[in-house]
C-alpha cells in the first residue's frame, strides 16, 4: 500500500456499511482519518458497526440524520447501492463535499497495476478468467480478485504488493463514484439495459459504465466487445488504445473463427476445449485473452487456464456428470437475457430446463425463440404459469410443474436419458422462495447430490 498522509486528521463520513463500507472505514482509520460511519441498521443488530466502534471509529446507526453534515467533513465515501437522491448524499453535494465510492479509495492507495472489468453481463466470469490466466502465467506476484466480485477493493489494495495486479470487477454504481481512478487495462464485456430504476435511463447507465476509461491515456488499453455497434461508436471518444474482441467477425484483437479462438492470427484454443459452454462464455474468454496478451502471458498458459476453468458459482457452473447426464447451475440467470445466453450454449434436443421464480409483471414472449426445440421444461415459483405459456408457444413437448428448485431435480432426472443436460437457468429473481440466487443455486446442487446418493 502507498504511504500517504492525505487523510491525516481529515473528517470523513462513510455512508452505508456492508463489506465495502467496513473496508473503507478501516482503511481510512489506518490512514489517520477521523472517521464517522452512518448506517441505517440499528446498532444492536449491526455487528459490523459494533466492530468498528471497538476500533475507536465513531458510529451512528438506525437513521441518517441530516444534521450529521453540520460537521466539517472533507469527504463522503458512499456505499455504491445508495442512490444519489438519498438526502444525505444530496446535502453533501450541495455543500460541495466530494462523494466517492470505495473503489476510488482503493486506487489512491494501490501500489500495483489495476485491471478493471465492467459490462452488463459476464463481469464476474471474465474477471475470474483473467485472474486465473494471469496466475497461471505470471512469473512473480499474484493477480488478486477485488471489487464487485465480493472482495472489497480497498481491503485488497491495502494488502497488495507492487508485484501484484488488482483484477477488479466494477459495477455502474461503483463507477459513478470515481474521480482519479485509472486502470492500466479496462474491459467492457457488453452493454444492455439494466439498473434503469437507479440510473433513470439507458443513456445514464451507459455513461456510468463509460466512466471506466475516463482517466485512461494512450499508454493504456481499453478492451471492447466489437460485436456491439454502441461500443464501436464510443471507442472513437477514448484516449486509450482500443483492443477489440468479437465472436462474429475477424478483428485486430481476439476473435472466433471456425470454432477456434484466435488473437491477432494466432490460434489460442478450440471453442470445444473451453471449460464452460455458450457463445457468451466464448466472448468472456476472448476478452480475457486480450488482457492476457496485453500483459505478455504465454499462449500455453492462457489455453491451460481456460481449458481448466469450469465456471463461477451459479453462472452456467458445471456441477457434475452422473449416469451420463450433465448438471449445470445457472441460478444467477435472474432475467430473460441471462437465460437466453445460457440456452445458447447447449444442444436443445438433449436439454431439460428448470426455470421460474419471482413475478415482476413481465411476460416471457421474448424467451420463446430461445426455447425452441428444448426437450422438456420443469417449472416452479410465481411465474410458472407464464413460463408454461411461453413454453407451449415454443413447442416444447413436455412441460411439468413442481414446488421448487429442489423438487425439480428428480423430476428432470426421470425425464432425462443418457447424454442429456439438466440446466437450472430460472430467468427470474429468487425472492419468491429464496433469499437470494446463491441460496437457490446451493439448494439445486444439494438436490443433485441427494439424487446421486439415492440413484447410486
Q: Hey, is 409 helix, strand or coil?
A: helix
Q: Hey, is 428 helix, strand or coil?
A: coil
User: In this structure, are residues 428 and 405 in contact, taking their beta carbons and an 8 Å threshold?
Assistant: no
DSSP-assigned states of every residue in 268-311: EEEGGGSSS-SHHHHHHHHHHHHHHHHTT--HHHHHHHHHH---
Can you say how many angstroms the Cα of residue 163 is from the centroid of all Cα atoms in its chain?
Answer: 25
Q: How many CA atoms lie within 13 A of 180 on its CB side?
A: 7
Answer yes or no: is 120 a known binding residue: yes
Phi first, then psi, for residue 32 (nearest 5°) are: 90, 10
Answer yes or no: is 121 a known binding residue: yes
Quick one: which of 291, 345, 242, 330 has its CA closest to 137? Answer: 291
Going by the DSSP 8-state scheme, the letter that residue 211 receives in this structure is G
Answer yes or no: is 5 a known binding residue: no
Answer yes or no: is 323 a known binding residue: no
Answer yes or no: is 122 a known binding residue: yes
C-alpha pair distances (Å), 379 with each of 152, 329, 391: 36, 15, 10
Q: Which residues of 151-168 are buried (b: 16+ CB within 10 A; e: fewer)?
A: bbbbbbbbebeeebbbbb
Distance in angstroms (rounded) separating the CA atoms of residues 250 and 259: 12
What is the four-CA torsion angle of 20, 23, 24, 26, rounded to 10 degrees?
A: 160
User: In this structure, are residues 46 and 22 in contact, taking their beta carbons and an 8 Å threshold?
Assistant: no
Going by the DSSP 8-state scheme, the letter that residue 312 receives in this structure is B
Answer yes or no: is 125 a known binding residue: yes
Which residue ranges are tagged as binding site? Answer: 119-125
Which residue ranges are tagged as binding site for ATP? Answer: 119-125
Amino acid at each position: 500500500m502507498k504511504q500517504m498522509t492525505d487523510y491525516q486528521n481529515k473528517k470523513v463520513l462513510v455512508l452505508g456499511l456492508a463489506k465495502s463500507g467496513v473496508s473503507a472505514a478501516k482503511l481510512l482509520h489506518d490512514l489517520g482519518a477521523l472517521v464517522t460511519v452512518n448506517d441505517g441498521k440499528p446498532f444492536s443488530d449491526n455487528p459490523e458497526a459494533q466492530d468498528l466502534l471497538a476500533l475507536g471509529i465513531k458510529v451512528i446507526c438506525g437513521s441518517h440524520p441530516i444534521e450529521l453534515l453540520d460537521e466539517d467533513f472533507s469527504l463522503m465515501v458512499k456505499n455504491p447501492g445508495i442512490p444519489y437522491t438519498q438526502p444525505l448524499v444530496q446535502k453533501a453535494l450541495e455543500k460541495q463535499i466530494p462523494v466517492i465510492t470505495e473503489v476510488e479509495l482503493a486506487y489512491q492507495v494501490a501500489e500495483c497495476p489495476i485491471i478493471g472489468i465492467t459490462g452488463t453481463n459476464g463481469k464476474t466470469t471474465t474477471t475470474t478468467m483473467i485472474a486465473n490466466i494471469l496466475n497461471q502465467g505470471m512469473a512473480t506476484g499474484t493477480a488478486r480478485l477485488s471489487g464487485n466480485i465480493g472482495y472489497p477493493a480497498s481491503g485488497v489494495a491495502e494488502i497488495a504488493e507492487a508485484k501484484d495486479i488488482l483484477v477488479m470487477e466494477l459495477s455502474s454504481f461503483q463507477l459513478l463514484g470515481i474521480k482519479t481512478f485509472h486502470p492500466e487495462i479496462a474491459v467492457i464485456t457488453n452493454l444492455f439495459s439494466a439498473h434503469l430504476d437507479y440510473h433513470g435511463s439507458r443513456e445514464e447507465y451507459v455513461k456510468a459504465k463509460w466512466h471506466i476509461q475516463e482517466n485512461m491515456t494512450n499508454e493504456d488499453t481499453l478492451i471492447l466487445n466489437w460485436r456491439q455497434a454502441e461500443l464501436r461508436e464510443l471507442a472513437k471518444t477514448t484516449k486509450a488504445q482500443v483492443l477489440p474482441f468479437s465472436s462474429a467477425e475477424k478483428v485486430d484483437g481476439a476473435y472466433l473463427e471456425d470454432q477456434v479462438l484466435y488473437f491477432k492470427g494466432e490460434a489460442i484454443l478450440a471453442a470445444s476445449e473451453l471449460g464452460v459452454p455458450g457463445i457468451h462464455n466464448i466472448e468472456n474468454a476472448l476478452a480475457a485473452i486480450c488482457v492476457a496478451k496485453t500483459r505478455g502471458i504465454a499462449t500455453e498458459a492462457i489455453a491451460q487456464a481456460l481449458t481448466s476453468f469450469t465456471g463461477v458459482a451459479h453462472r452456467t457452473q458445471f456441477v457434475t456428470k452422473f449416469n451420463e447426464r450433465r448438471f449445470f447451475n445457472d441460478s444467477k440467470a435472474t432475467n430473460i437475457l441471462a437465460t437466453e445466453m445460457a440456452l445458447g450454449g447447449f444442444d436443445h434436443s438433449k436439454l431439460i430446463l428448470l426455470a421460474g421464480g419471482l413475478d415482476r409483471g413481465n411476460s416471457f414472449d421474448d424467451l420463446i425463440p430461445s426455447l425452441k426445440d428444448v426437450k422438456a421444461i420443469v417449472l416452479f415459483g410465481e411465474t410458472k404459469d407464464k413460463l408454461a405459456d411461453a413454453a407451449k408457444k415454443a413447442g416444447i413437448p413436455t412441460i411439468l410443474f413442481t414446488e421448487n428448485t429442489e423438487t425439480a431435480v428428480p423430476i428432470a432426472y426421470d425425464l432425462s436419458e443418457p447424454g442429456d443436460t439438466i440446466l437450472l437457468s430460472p430467468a427470474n429473481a429468487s425472492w419468491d422462495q429464496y433469499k437470494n440466487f446463491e441460496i437457490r443455486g446451493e439448494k439445486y446442487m444439494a438436490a443433485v447430490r441427494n439424487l446421486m446418493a439415492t440413484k447410486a
